[in-house]
């Protein structure tokens, strides 16, 4: 992750510290977990065909996922619109034979995690209304934590599953974690799942380095020890790897901010200079600050970038779309 430099007067700085799960495994067996993947179930070895394909216990046909118990149905848009893309999964699998819903269905994925890191799992849940019971339940579990979610399909048309977004939070206790979604009822029309994202916080601090004397930028610890202050009320913006604006937040007391970001993407955090105030006596509010410090966490660890003091053109617009992001980070 990169913090773009902006310019103007002097002595403002920002830092980002974050953890994004490492995505590369080198020299390990094929069974070794990788980063979380295919949360929308769009990738599989199944290909086209009918509207529903039942997958039995042990199936790994949906890339990254394993049918952990019972059977599940891999569903395309002929039956109902996916929450994202073209495919979703009905945890109540099958209609006959061994895949008759007699055993509760569930799927799971094991992926790399950082011990002690808290993850937020965001997912869309629906309910297949084509069989009893009317109220579908689904349990989500990971790292010894679980929660159960419900959706009432009463009154749903057969092609409506009532997609609803939920979140589930767990803290990793190992370097890989198995995330499981399990139906609760024995049925051939169960809870439906799509659009799973694993999110981690990206947090940082916007601070004023009042005694910055030039040269390499200084980090928050050094600047605050030298009389600097964290700056609240600053607009901080998040951009994804394509440069698209994602969201914005405002720094809290002490200059802190935090975003939840998808472990499957990389991001840039941008501080909007015109919203940064100075704590300096006699400061002129209309003057723009200049960024003196940032970090780059593209390696998975925040690394100081101290050679961009001064930043770029301070008059550039601070609106989300007015300036191409690559113009800000070169
Ligand atoms: Ca999907």
| Domain locations along the chain | 12-20+209-329, 52-199
How far apart CA 94 and CA 59 sit, in angstroms, is 14
Q: Distance from the CA of 167 to the center of ligand 1, in angstroms?
A: 17
In this structure, what DSSP letter does residue 274 have?
Answer: G
pLDDT of residue 292: 84
pLDDT in tens, 123-132: 999 999 998 8
Helix (H) or strand (E) holding 115: none
Q: Distance from the CA of 174 to the center of ligand 1, in angstroms?
A: 28
Q: Across the strands, what pairs with 179?
A: 109
How far apart CA 5 and CA 273 sit, in angstroms, is 10
Beta strands 71-75 and 52-56, pairing class: antiparallel
CATH number of 52-199: 2.60.120.260
Q: How many helices (H) and strands (E) does the chain have?
A: 2, 19
pLDDT in tens, 236-293: 999 888 888 999 999 999 999 999 999 888 888 888 888 999 998 888 888 888 888 8
Q: In which residue ranges of the chain is pLDDT below 50? A: 1-30, 96-99, 312-318, 320-330
pLDDT of residue 8: 32
Q: Distance from the CA of 38 to the center of ligand 1, in angstroms?
A: 9
pLDDT of residue 49: 52
The answer to whether 197 and 102 are in contact (CB under 8 A) is: no
Q: Across the strands, what pairs with 178?
A: 110
List the shell of residues around ion ligand 1, using CB closer than 5 Å: 40-41, 82, 84-85, 87, 194
Q: Shortest CA distance to 120 belongs to which of 60, 165, 155? A: 165
Q: Distance from the CA of 126 to the center of ligand 1, in angstroms?
A: 12
Q: Shortest CA distance to 73 belongs to which of 99, 47, 48, 36? A: 99
Q: Distance from the CA of 194 to the center of ligand 1, in angstroms?
A: 5
Q: What is the DSSP string of 202-270?
A: EEEEEEE-TT--SSS---HHHHHHTT-EE--S-EEEEE-TTS-EEEEEE--GGGEEEEEEETTS--EEE
Total-model pTM:
0.75
Q: Distance from the CA of 299 to the center of ligand 1, in angstroms?
A: 29
How far apart CA 85 and CA 90 sit, in angstroms, is 15
């Amino acid at each position: 992750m990169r913090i773009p430099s902006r310019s103007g007067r002097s002595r403002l700085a920002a830092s980002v510290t974050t953890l994004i799960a490492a995505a590369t495994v080198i020299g390990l067996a094929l069974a070794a977990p990788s980063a979380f993947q295919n949360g929308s179930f769009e990738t599989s070895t199944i290909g086209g065909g009918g509207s529903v394909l039942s997958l039995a216990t042990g199936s790994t046909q949906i890339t990254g996922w394993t049918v952990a118990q019972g059977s599940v149905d891999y569903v395309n848009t002929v039956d109902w619109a996916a929450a994202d893309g073209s495919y979703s999964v009905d945890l109540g699998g099958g209609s006959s034979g061994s895949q008759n819903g007699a055993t509760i269905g569930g799927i799971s994925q094991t992926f790399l995690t950082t011990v002690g890191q808290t993850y937020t799992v965001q997912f869309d849940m629906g309910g297949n209304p084509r069989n009893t019971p009317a109220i579908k339940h689904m349990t989500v579990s990971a790292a010894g934590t679980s929660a159960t979610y419900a959706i009432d399909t009463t009154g749903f048309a057969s092609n409506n599953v009532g997609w609803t977004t939920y979140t589930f939070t767990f803290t990793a206790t190992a370097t890989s974690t198995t995330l499981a979604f399990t139906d609760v009822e024995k049925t051939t029309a169960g809870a439906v799942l799509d659009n799973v994202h694993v999110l981690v916080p990206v947090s940082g601090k916007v601070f004023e380095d009042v005694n910055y004397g030039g040269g390499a930028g200084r980090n928050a610890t050094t600047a605050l020890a030298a009389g600097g202050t964290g700056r609240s009320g600053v607009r901080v913006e998040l951009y994804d790897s394509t440069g698209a604006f994602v969201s914005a937040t405002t720094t809290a007391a002490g200059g802190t901010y935090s975003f939840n970001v998808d472990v499957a993407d990389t991001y840039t955090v941008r501080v909007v200079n015109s919203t940064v105030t100075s704590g300096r006596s006699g400061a002129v509010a209309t003057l723009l600050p200049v960024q003196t410090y940032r970090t780059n966490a593209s390696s998975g660890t925040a690394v100081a970038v101290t050679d961009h003091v001064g930043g770029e053109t301070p008059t550039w617009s601070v609106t989300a779309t007015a300036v191409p992001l690559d113009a800000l980070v070169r």
